[in-house]
Amino acid sequence: MEEVKNTVYVYVDESGSITKTNISNNRYFIIAMLFTDNPTAIRRLFKKKISQLIKNDSKRKETLIKNKEIKGSDISESKKLQIYQHVLTHGKDTLELGIIVLDNNYATDKFIENHARAFNYLVQVYFDSCYRKHSKYMTGSGKIEILLDEQNVATGAKYNLEEYLNQQLTMSNPICDSFAANYTDSKNEKLVQLADFVANTFYRNIEKKDENSAENIKLWMDSLCGDDIFDFSEAHDIKLNF
């Protein structure tokens, strides 16, 4: 996306599933949303650390050449720590993180029967609540451009996210003048890849209770919109594991 003045850019990926299948191992669905008004700077920071990461790692270099990207699930939390530290040390002022967590135990069969509709609803509620009340980018005007990984949320989509958000959030008590939502292969956008890394880190922490993710979660806390995850469950009992 080409940078435009008075525009907030949002890069989105997810981890886990909206499902009732094998729920003991698939309890949580997580959406990571990276907000920035300077994507060029954040992209440059991420690319630099990825290049350093693979410089002396022939296996990861081969993966990058073959797949055009490294997935967050294929990299350790200790390696991610180096990337996150660099991005947040130099780019924190132009970055904000939104994390939506759905507990599938509370999801009804009706809710999960259409992934795209459920996804759009989760995003809309997040914007209407957490973003509206807490985001440093909330002005009530300008444009919000969202870029999502097509592999996850675009396949079979019957519900148009852009149209939905514009209907819900730009007419009455608007949070911006307009929304744009587009889909891309994550191979083509480094910041969607970074969103994938972050979604996977929070998934490992919440779903897997992975102790190695704790330090990375702590790093992101100061950048979280509202200083916490957006807990989309009836009991609001989802806990981060530090």
Ranges of residues in the chain whose predicted pLDDT is under 70: 1-4, 65, 152-159
- Residue 154: its pLDDT value, please? 46
pLDDT tens digits for range 167-194? 999 999 999 999 999 999 999 999 999 9
Domains annotated for the chain, with CATH where assigned, are: 11-232 (3.30.420)
- Residue 66: its pLDDT value, please? 74
Residue 199 in contact with residue 75, Cβ under 8 Å? no
Distance CA(10)–CA(2), nearest Å, equals 13
pLDDT tens digits for range 153-172? 544 454 589 999 999 999 99
Q: What are the Cα distances from residue 82, in Å, to 4, 49, 56, 85? A: 30, 8, 15, 5
Distance CA(124)–CA(118), nearest Å, equals 10
Q: Torsion angle of alpha carbons 164, 35, 72, 203, nearest 10°?
A: -70
- Residue 153: its pLDDT value, please? 55
Distance CA(109)–CA(194), nearest Å, equals 31
